[in-house]
Amino acid sequence: MDLYRLYLVTDDKQDLVTLKNVVKEAVAGGVTMVQVREKQRDIRCFIEIALAVKAVLKGSGIPLIINDRVDVALAIDADGVHLGQSDMPAGIARRLLGKDKLLGLSIENEQQLIEAESLPVDYLGLSAIFATPTKTDIKKEWGISGLANAVAQSSFPIVAIGGINDTNLEAVIATDVAGVALVSAICDAKSPQDAARRFRTLMRR
């Protein structure tokens, strides 16, 4: 499904002006989904950032996903939520969000992958494919073979995240993964638009 193809996750260390610009450029470059991640600041700040990103995405048809926080997603009427393993249980989140919102879940090991099969989610985020400076608490590095096995095993679309860049993208895509999620490869690029476009081009090969 093209929806998950190039999934931008925002960098919560960037100020709001930079973040909005990154999202705007990344959309012009071809990202297919945007997740607002906010681990640093309080909920009021999170809502402000999410609303600003929602305004940037208006009319683009690109879904806005909120990281971790079901309350923030409901408050701003986002398109969905991406949950971590220590967040609200997926069943409760689904009940609160309703059946029409997107619900993603981070998967960090094989046991979680198996357990996810019975959960009311739409897609899985497999983390981390490769070690990455943006995530310091990695439980497992899946690598290409681990990703390929997960894709073959799961009935859900899988989005690969963690350390993905120009040098390994081809191998990641070759696993038939639904998409890739990128943070620094787009957020830290001199031109987020060019970076997103380059990744889209590489994916079409």
CA distance 33 to 65: 8
CA distance 182 to 185: 6
Cα 145 to Cα 32, 62, 129: the distances in Å are 25, 30, 10
Of these residues, 135, 140, 184, 200, which one is catalytic?
Answer: 135
Question: E-strand spans in 41-183?
Answer: 64-67, 80-83, 102-107, 123-127, 158-161, 179-182
Structure tokens at 54: 């929602």
Active site residue 39: no
Q: What is the largest CA-CA distance in the chain?
A: 42
Of these residues, 37, 54, 197, 198, which one is catalytic?
Answer: 37
CA distance 2 to 108: 23
Active site residue 60: no
Is the CB of residue 156 less than 8 Å from the CB of residue 3? no
Active site residue 106: yes
Of these residues, 101, 106, 154, 198, which one is catalytic?
Answer: 106
Q: Return the active site residues.
A: 37, 106, 135
